[in-house]
Structure formats: C-alpha cells, structure tokens
Chains A and B, each alone.
Chain A
C-alpha cells in the first residue's frame, strides 16, 4: 500500500511537472537566458546587497543578478531581462541618490547577452558522467546478479532517471529559477539516488540470500528426515 502511495505521488509530481513545463516553460535565470547586462561606474566600494535591492525595485518581478567588477570593485554590473529606457533612467537616479553621484543615462553601459544553449552547458558533463555510470552500473549488475541483471539495471537506472525527472519537475512546478545551483542540485540528487538504490538493492539481496539459506536448510532437514 505504502509503495503504491509513493509511486502515485511520484507520478503526480512528474505529470504536474510535465504540464507546467509545457505550459509555462522554466524560469530560466538571467545568467542563462537572453538578458541585458548593465554596467555603472560607482567610483567607490559599494554594498552589493543594497544595489540588488534598488535593482529589484526597478526591475520588478525579474530575476536580478548583481556583481562587482574588479580590479577596484567600483563598477556595478546588473544582469536582468526586458530592460526599458525608463528603468535605466530610474536606476541612474537611484544610484546617484544612494552614492551621491552625478551619473547620466548615457554613462550606463548596456550589453545584450544571448541565452546559454543547453548543448553548450552540458557537453562537458556527458562523457565523464557516462563513463562513471557505466562502471557503477556494471559493478551493480555483478554485485546484485542474484536479483537478476535486468531487474537491477531497471531499479538503478530507473531510480536515477526518476530522481532527476523529479528535480526537473520541481523546478517547473515551483518556478524556482534555473540558475547556477541547478547543476549542483542535479549532481547531489544523482549521488543520493545512487546511495539509496544501492541500499535498497542490498536489502533485497539480503532477503533473497536469507530465503535461499532457509530453503537449503529445509532441504537438508528434509533429506536427513528421509534418510532416517
């Protein structure tokens, strides 16, 4: 029963994720989406959090990334999307107020940033991970051969796919920004799923071995009774 509830819950999350992703897409962070980078010269060290607050108020509802540009950390770089002229004017005004500057709208440098192609983002990960998976699955196939290679592969590969799909679904449902944390989250899920599936298969194997032992014991007892 418990198993059925868990499976049903997973199915619901996956379907909901699929629908959300299809209908609204993902909330891709300004780091990976088409965005505008706005650079302004402050001329002195400044509080990044304070500038982020200002930027958030101006670029309402948009993901805003704020960076300090070195070597002197006196240039602020704001990355966001859908920038309009009045927002640049407002930003100039607010920065002037906050840091007692006399910036003109023309002093703000804007650069259009293209989106990051998934291919470009993931290419470097594919080969090393594929080799690692291949070796790990080969070990699992040998270690849990008593459970059946196909069953073992099904559980280990299936749980990995479901784990990652759940993460993607959560991103789609909750509209969490797909940002620099996304790959790390995916790697963490991968590691935890591997530990979980190994523990599960290990418990299954123990059960099978216990049953085998009991069966052989019963067989031995039967043989000795028959001999007597």
Chain B
C-alpha cells in the first residue's frame, strides 16, 4: 500500500509541478528584473496590432509632350536647327528649349481612367502582391468603390515600411529604344519574374530573372539581335556604334544596356547590386530583387496610386474585452468542472487535477511550439479543451479492474482516437493552409489532439493504475 501511495503522490506532484509551470511560468531574477525562462507567448495581429496602409488614387500631375502643337513646334525646331548650323552645341541648346516649351502637365490618372473597373483591377493587383509579399500571409484588404482608395491591414515586420512601397507602385514595365523612345516590350510580354542568387569568386550575386511569354520571347530575340555594339566605317577609320535599350519601371530607368548575344530562351537575367560577401548586403539585394519581382510578376495597375498612410496600429482589444474573455472562459471551465464532479464523484478530484494539468501542459506546448496566439488560436484552444475534457472523462469512467486495465485502456484510447479523428483531419489540413488564421486554428487543435493522447497515456493511466493497485492492496490487507 505504501509503495502505491508513494507512486500516486509522486504522480500528483508531477502534475502539480506542470500546472504551476504551465499556468504561472518560471522566472529568475537577473540584474534586478524577473526574466521568464520559458519562451514568451507569440501574439498575432488581432491581439498585438497591425500595419495599416492606405493607398490613395494619385491626384498628381506629370509633364507630357504637348501633341496639339507638334507640327508648329517641329517646324520651329527645324528652323532653329537650320539657323544655328554653326555649332552643334547651340543647336542642342535650342532643341532643348523647344522641347521644354512643347510640354504640358496633365493628371497621372486621366478623368476617363477613373472607373470602377479600373479601381477593382488595381485592387486585384495589390492583393496579388500582398499574397506574395505579406509576412505570415495574413492581411485584410478593402476598397472604397467611390474613389478607389485601398485600405490594407497586414502583419507588421521590420521592413514593413519598404514593403508598403511595393503596393503603391503602378508596376509599369517598358523596354524602350534608348534614342527614339519607341516602346519595344511591355508588361504584357512578361510571363514571370523570379529571384535567384549564385556564388561567384567575388561573392554572392543576386539576379532577377525575367521570363517572357512566347510572343515576348520572339520580340526579345529580335531585340537582342538589333540592340548590339557594332563597328561602322567612319571615313578611313571605323567607329563603334552601340544601340541601347532602356528598361523602365514606372518611367524610371532601372537598366540601360545592349546585348552581346542573341537571346533565344526568352529569359533575361538582371544583376541586382554587385557581388558581395556581406550577409546584410546580400539580404538587402535579395529584398530589393524580391520587391521588383513582386511588382513585375503581377502586371501593371491601370491607375497610379500614392501611399497616404503607413502606420502601426495597436490592437482594438481593450481591458474590457480581455475581462469578458476571462470571465466567459472561467464560467465555461467552472461548468465543465461541476459536470465532472457530477459524473466522476469519488474520482472527481483526480479527474479535475488531470484536466487542469492537461490545460497547463497544452499551454506549455503552445509556448514551445511558437504557436501565434490569435482569436482563431483561442477558438482552437476551446476545441482542444473540450477534446481533452472528454478524453479524461472517458478514461476515468472506464471499468477499472487490475486484470483488464491494459485492455480497457487500449480500448478507451481507440474510442478517443475515433471521435477525435474527423476534427484532427481538419486540423492537420489547416496546418498546411497558408492563411494565418486558419493555420493558427489548425495548429491549436493539432497540439490539443497530441497532448490529449500523450497526457492521458502517461498521467491519467499512471493515476488509474496506482488507484486500482492501492484499492486492491487495501482490500487484500483487510
């Protein structure tokens, strides 16, 4: 009897220890401050806060060629050039003056472009970019259908400021003739944009691979044969003539180059930055290339947007909300405990201890598994609590005789697994979901299932074996 009582006490002490650690934590004093030895809970955006970005349809203006005066101006240019044939420089100056005179300002988004269709198309592109770039893949996006403004909420990270700039970019890709400014390729020719890097003697080099569509590849082949460096006769000697292309994103030239060989596979590899051995530099180049890839990969927005707000907002939850959550959780747990007392009667104390121990162990695992605590995780925790509760009830109500203990235990485990299977299947599926709220829910339920099985296989079983053996020994003693 003594040995069994000792074993039982030991089991209870271990459970109590888990309860204390799981619900209270372990703290040590370091330089006057109490520091937790356990990993802290990781809170998600709904409990911590999020990055809020507002994209406004641009009301800016740009300078463009005034086509209405083209004929007149061209004549003026010709006249000026003829009059000033004495020096090239004077001609160039005059031409510049005329070019300036030929420009006019107009809105970047013309009136006829401000349609609901264009608003929606722009939002779709922003959302595609969000899906590719949003950290932890969680965001909300909504649009004001009256003015096209887009409102984004996303997980905040250190580089959120830079990420936000990606959404506002129109993503207008143009490959143009460096001299004539003739459009050679547009976004429609791009199939995809991917980032890669390779190790070279001088360090790591980051690339942006642009793959073009079938038609785009055909165009690229012609371009790579046209825009080359050639040698032409210049009187008695020869001179090198280079025909260049400019690669522009949102009217900004990112590359001005010529081709040294024909490109047949429809892929251009652009080097981002320079070869580096610095980890920070490599990360910077990779981030820049990724942002460029995200912009080019998802097409051109029909409208130009500007970033109007980019701020980190704290959670909506107030102390009142937290109070309500704790009160509701307390009431539900109290009901569960009362029902357990009603069902288990004499064994109720052991059952409650096991149940509280299970919750503590579950919370510990959530900490160590780095599960993000969000409202969806809490929903998963509710499901996991019920799973554990039902399992403990099942184990404590199974017939307990020493001879059939092992058989009964295995039978009960089987029953528990059977009723947990459908929700486990859903939980495991959701653990593969990219969408953070579903992933959080899936992880919370998954760990609930695992802990239910492990906890009962170790502690509930030990507790039951000890109780049965003690009872038997007492009876024999009598």
Q: A116-B142, A128-B438, A187-B376 are in contact. Are A70 and B418 (CB under 8 A)?
A: no
Question: Cβ of B312 and Cβ of A191 under 8 Å apart?
Answer: no
Q: How far is the CB of B128 from chain A (nearest CB, A)?
A: 12
Q: How far is the CB of B62 from chain A (nearest CB, A)?
A: 26
Chain B residue numbers with a CB within 8 Å of A192 are 382-383, 386
Question: Cβ of B423 and Cβ of A195 under 8 Å apart?
Answer: yes
A77 located at the interface, meaning its Cβ lies under 8 Å from any Cβ of chain B in the complex: yes
Chain A residue numbers with a CB within 8 Å of B143 are 114
Chain B residue numbers with a CB within 8 Å of A65 are 316
B145 located at the interface, meaning its Cβ lies under 8 Å from any Cβ of chain A in the complex: yes
A181 and B441 CA atoms in complex are apart in Å by: 13
Question: Cβ of B429 and Cβ of A128 under 8 Å apart?
Answer: yes
A102 and B383 CA atoms in complex are apart in Å by: 50
Question: Cβ of B144 and Cβ of A195 under 8 Å apart?
Answer: no
A49 located at the interface, meaning its Cβ lies under 8 Å from any Cβ of chain B in the complex: yes
> Which applies to chain A's interface (DSSP): helix, strand, loop or mixed?
helix
Q: How far is the CB of B171 from chain A (nearest CB, A)?
A: 21
Question: Cβ of A191 and Cβ of B382 under 8 Å apart?
Answer: yes
Interface residues of A in 112-151 (CB under 8 A from B): 112-117, 120-121, 124-125, 128-129, 131-133, 135-136, 139-140, 143
Chain A residue numbers with a CB within 8 Å of B425 are 132, 135-136, 139
Chain A residue numbers with a CB within 8 Å of B294 are none
A124 and B138 CA atoms in complex are apart in Å by: 10
Name which residue of chain B comes closest to A121, CB basis.
B140
Question: Cβ of B419 and Cβ of A188 under 8 Å apart?
Answer: no
B387 located at the interface, meaning its Cβ lies under 8 Å from any Cβ of chain A in the complex: yes
Question: Cβ of A120 and Cβ of B419 under 8 Å apart?
Answer: no
Chain A residue numbers with a CB within 8 Å of B46 are 180
Question: Cβ of B318 and Cβ of A185 under 8 Å apart?
Answer: no
A111 and B378 CA atoms in complex are apart in Å by: 32
Residues in chain A within 8 A of chain B (CB atoms): 31, 48-49, 52, 65-71, 73, 75, 77, 111-117, 120-121, 124-125, 128-129, 131-133, 135-136, 139-140, 143, 156, 179-181, 183-185, 187-188, 190-192, 194-195, 198-199, 202
5 A/B residue pairs, CB under 8 Å, sorted by A: A116-B140, A121-B140, A128-B435, A143-B421, A191-B383
- Please give 11 more A-B residue pairs, beta carbons under 8 A apart, in addition to A121-B140, A187-B380: A52-B318, A70-B49, A73-B314, A113-B142, A128-B429, A136-B423, A181-B375, A184-B379, A191-B382, A191-B383, A192-B383
